[in-house]
Amino acid sequence: MTDLKVTRNDAESRYELHLTDETHDGVLAGWAAFDQAPGRIRLTETVVDPAFRGKGVGTVLASDALADIARRGDTIVPVCPFIADHLRKNEIAGAIVDWPGDTPLDSATQGESPA
């Protein structure tokens, strides 16, 4: 059985995904880098270790990181193409997204300004 755990590492300015299975014990399988400002977080890069690509690790990382940001109440600025694509395809409850070059949008109702 594989255990995936996403944590926020403020010292490194990134969300980290650690994987534990039969052959790995808490190995860093990927991360999503961010720049934090008051009330806003720019997600700049997502990296998945080549050994774990194609296994859904990036999707878990993006989902859990975005859910945490939404819970914190920060506006998400998706600079990273992987994160932007994930936001376009998936609803993140409570997330407010400021698409680069656009008006901030509620990710649950893309195309409509938040109330």
Return the pLDDT at 102. Answer: 65
Kindly state whether residue 54 falls inside one of the protein's structural domains: yes
* Over residues 20-25, mean pLDDT: 90
Owning domain of residue 53: 34-109
CB 32 within 8 A of CB 14: yes
Kindly state whether residue 83 falls inside one of the protein's structural domains: yes
Q: Give whole-number Cα distances, 20 to 7, 25, 27, 49, 55, in Å.
A: 14, 5, 7, 14, 14
Between strands 40-48 and 3-9, the pairing is unpaired
Residue 84 sits in a domain of what CATH number?
3.40.630.30
* Residue 114: pLDDT over 60: no
Kindly state whether residue 74 falls inside one of the protein's structural domains: yes
Q: Using one digit for the tens of pLDDT, what is the confidence trace for 37-56? A: 999 999 999 999 999 999 99
Kindly state whether residue 13 falls inside one of the protein's structural domains: no
Kindly state whether residue 1 falls inside one of the protein's structural domains: no
Q: Using one digit for the tens of pLDDT, what is the confidence trace for 103-112? A: 555 554 444 4
Kindly state whether residue 89 falls inside one of the protein's structural domains: yes
* Over residues 86-109, mean pLDDT: 81
Contacts of 73 (CB under 8 A, 6+ apart): 39
Domain count, the chain: 1
Kindly state whether residue 29 falls inside one of the protein's structural domains: no
Return the pLDDT at 107. Answer: 53
